[in-house]
Amino acid sequence: MMYCENRMKLGMLMFLALGMLLFFSCRNDDDEIIPSVITKVTPSDSVPGPVKGFFLLNEGNMGSNKATLDYFNYASGGYHKNIFAERNPGVVKELGDVGNDIQIYGNKLYAVINCSHLIEVMDVNTAKEITKITVTNCRYIVFHEGFAYVSSYAGPVQIDPNARLGEVVKIDTATLKVVGSCTVGYQPEEMVIVGNKLYVANSGGYRVPNYDNTVSVIDLETFKETKKITVAINLHRMRVDQNGLIYVTSRGDYYNVHSNTYVINAKNDLVEGALNFPASELYLCGDSLYSYSTEYSKITSKWTVNYTIYDTKAKRIVSRNFIKDGTEKSIVTPYALAVNPETGEIFVGDAGDYVTPGRLYCFGSDGKKKWDVQTGDIPAHIVFTTRPLQELK
């Protein structure tokens, strides 16, 4: 991801040129497509039920043009690494530069490609491209009543104390055309929808150290910002539970102000308080809010990692480490996080050193490892699908 994650190591810069070389060499002079790699990780038909598998979007570090798409098939037990190229041999540059979000709506799969300034729209049944939609410096995507809403930094990819306000772009999912935009705060990130209101976490990350500290509220009928809710600096993740409570994370300033998780009540748009646990990522499954956090201490010169579960019904932390078998010691840089709503399986992506292939770990609901597999570079975003991916003919 971009600098605002503040988790890339300085050594990454030395690999950017190499990354570009790898990109240009990913196809030879005969335009040969590198086939996906299939690894058997579980028995066939290991988990019956509506969820047939999931897509995993690997970010690829910024400037390398190495975003890739993986797929896991529950029926076969096979993990398919890098499926986009072989299913879209005519797409130049493949997925593009920095995969920042992936979601399913209807029969379409949407991948937000941040630094390539586009939304890659695919058929969810085949992962074949339908079209590309241009959105400048796009970040995250949500859906409501036939429309997609995309947060956008709306300017160049660079730190700038005078960076402009961001916006939310509205897309008609029938025509796949941009039909409107709404100005919000600085460098908007994740969003949630409650009723007819869209909530947007504003980070202000480009304007460091003058971070934004607000959540924008948009009326979806008028598609206008109606208010801003002051929460904390450098906001990022957002989730909403069945009671209309919105969980939003603050990344702090990475030095003196620590990350924290806050609660907004959508009934009155007031901040109810802080939950007093840091979070780099959130995933809500039922009444359980899963998170991991990575924070650096100037005092100890070490990174601290936590794997937390917060019970949204009981309103308390029920676990400070949902990994129960010691596998967390093998995870270098936690990145992706997802929970299968049927099985309770927990998936954690490990970005490792950010410039070489990562790994995906699958844990049972008991927190014990079931399997792990190599992914693309920086495994980051997972979306479950109820439709099995069709085999190539």
Q: Find the angle CA(147)-CA(267)-CA(245) to the nearest 5 degrees.
A: 75
User: Strand 138-144's sheet: what is its strand order?
Assistant: 138-144, 147-152, 167-172, 177-183
For residue 43, give both structure tokens. Answer: 């028995």
Residue 45 has pLDDT above 80, yes or no: no
Per-residue pLDDT reduced to its tens digit, 203-236: 999 999 999 999 999 999 999 999 999 999 999 9
Report pLDDT for 44. 79
Residues of the chain with pLDDT > 90, as a percent, come to 84
Lowest mean pLDDT among 26-35, 83-92, 249-258, 346-355: 26-35
Residue 285: CB atoms within 10 Å: 16
Cis peptide before 379 (omega within 30 of 0): no
For residue 296, give both structure tokens. Answer: 């650096």
Q: Which CATH architecture has domain 34-385?
A: 7 Propeller (2.130)
Closest CA to 7 of 347, 308, 278: 278
Residues of the chain with pLDDT > 70, as a percent, come to 90
Closest CA to 144 of 220, 199, 70, 72: 220
Annotated domain spans of the chain: 34-385
pLDDT, the chain, mean? 91
- Tally the residues of the chain: 393
Q: Please, what is the end-to-end C-alpha distance for the chain in angstroms?
A: 34
Residue with tokens 């047939």: 52
Per-residue pLDDT reduced to its tens digit, 239-255: 999 999 999 999 999 88
Residue 28 has pLDDT above 50, yes or no: no
DSSP three-state, residue 350: strand
Mean pLDDT of the region 362-378:
98
DSSP three-state, residue 22: helix
Instruction: Give φ, ψ of 359 to 5 degrees.
Output: -135, 150
Alpha carbon separation from 96 to 112, 173, 211 (Å, rounded): 10, 22, 28
Report pLDDT for 92. 86
Residue 170 has pLDDT above 50, yes or no: yes
Distance CA 381, CA 101 (A): 6
Distance CA 173, CA 390 (A): 22
DSSP-derived pairing of the beta strands 357-363 and 346-350? antiparallel
Rounded (to 5) percent helix, strand, coil in the chain = 5, 45, 45
Report pLDDT for 295. 84
Report pLDDT for 47. 65
Q: Which amino acid is at 207?
A: R
Distance CA 157, CA 97 (A): 12
Count CA within 13 A, CB hemisphere, residue 367: 14
